[in-house]
Amino acid sequence: MKKIIKPYKKEFDYSYTSGASVTIELLETRPDLVECIYIHSSFNRPDEVIKLCNRHGIPYIFNDSMFKRINQKENSYVLGIFRKFTSRIDPGATHVVLVNPADMGNLGTIIRTLTGFGINDLAIITPSADIWNPKTIRASMGSFFHMNFRHYDDINDYTGAFPEHRVYTFMTDGEVELCPGIFPERQPVSLVFGNEATGLGERFRHMGTGIKIPQSMSVDSLNLSVAVAVGVFAYKL
């Protein structure tokens, strides 16, 4: 068992969950990855966590000082240390593709949203926010452990790997307005969304079909996590 005594860094081969609900999700879905659970003495409902630890033979430790060393939320009383793992996306499933997402909170919220709509395959074009960061995992509320994901250095690397997917790029000036029925039935598609600050650049204009989300002229664009939710909801109708 590793003794985690430092705040998370991207180069580590492990990460951790912060909070009871996300840690319980980790214990229920991926107990094979868990190295240790830390519980704060102030946590008033440790029974479920302890029960899951005992069921899977996972050590748990009451250690308040660990929270001061590595935790980023003062109201978090459970930490789950787990090993990073290899993930692959399903070639026969519909994918959401995020191009250079920069905000860990947005990334976690998007993962939670996708899981809620039954989409479990996410491609990320780098550079990007760290999907393994505890902030991302906490924002996903445990949905992270239900998601298949893979990183690609360039969008062409992704599209080359899945030539059978029809590509839909979400752009503020896309040629087709988002509405139910525009997506093909019984064919996997790729729903591509851009960076929070810049969206998708000119190179994406002729890559597949450009989709425009109807909105008022009062705002430049929707928040990325909101745009993904709207796009996926329309796709699922």
Q: Which of 5, 9, 6, 4 is nearest to 130 (CA)?
A: 9
> Tell me, what's the pLDDT at 128?
96
Distance CA 171, CA 161 (A): 23
Domain spans, the chain: 14-83, 95-236
For residue 99, give both structure tokens: 């191009």
Answer yes or no: same fold for 14-83 and 95-236: no
pLDDT exceeds 80 at position 85:
yes
Residues 6+ apart with CB under 8 A from 85: 30, 33
Contact 104, 135 (CB under 8 A): yes
**Confidence band for 137, pLDDT divided at 50, 70 and 90:** very high
> Tell me, what's the pLDDT at 132?
96
For residue 83, give both structure tokens: 């090993």
pLDDT exceeds 80 at position 221:
no
- pLDDT per position as a tens digit, 5-59: 678 899 999 999 999 999 999 999 999 999 999 999 999 999 999 999 999 999 9
> Tell me, what's the pLDDT at 3?
52
Q: Which of 19, 225, 8, 35 is nearest to 133 (CA)?
A: 8
Give CATH superfamily name and number for 14-83.
Ribosomal protein L30/S12 (3.30.1330.30)
CA 122 distance to own-chain centroid: 8
> Tell me, what's the pLDDT at 6?
78
At the topology level, CATH places domain 95-236 in Alpha/beta knot (3.40.1280)
**Cα angle, residue 142 at apex, residues 152 and 83 outer, rounded to 5°:** 65
Distance CA 161, CA 157 (A): 6
- pLDDT per position as a tens digit, 150-161: 999 999 999 999
Is the sign of the CA dihedral 115, 72, 6, 64 positive or negative?
negative
Mean pLDDT is lowest, of 29-38, 47-56, 107-116, 219-228, for 219-228
State the pairing for strand pair 166-170/121-125.
unpaired
pLDDT exceeds 80 at position 185:
no
Q: What share of the chain is helix, strand, coil (3-state, %, to 5)?
A: 30, 20, 45
Q: Tell me how crowded residue 28 is: count the other CB atoms within 10 A of its CB.
A: 14
**Confidence band for 1, pLDDT divided at 50, 70 and 90:** very low
Give the mean model confidence (pLDDT) for residues 97-101.
Answer: 97
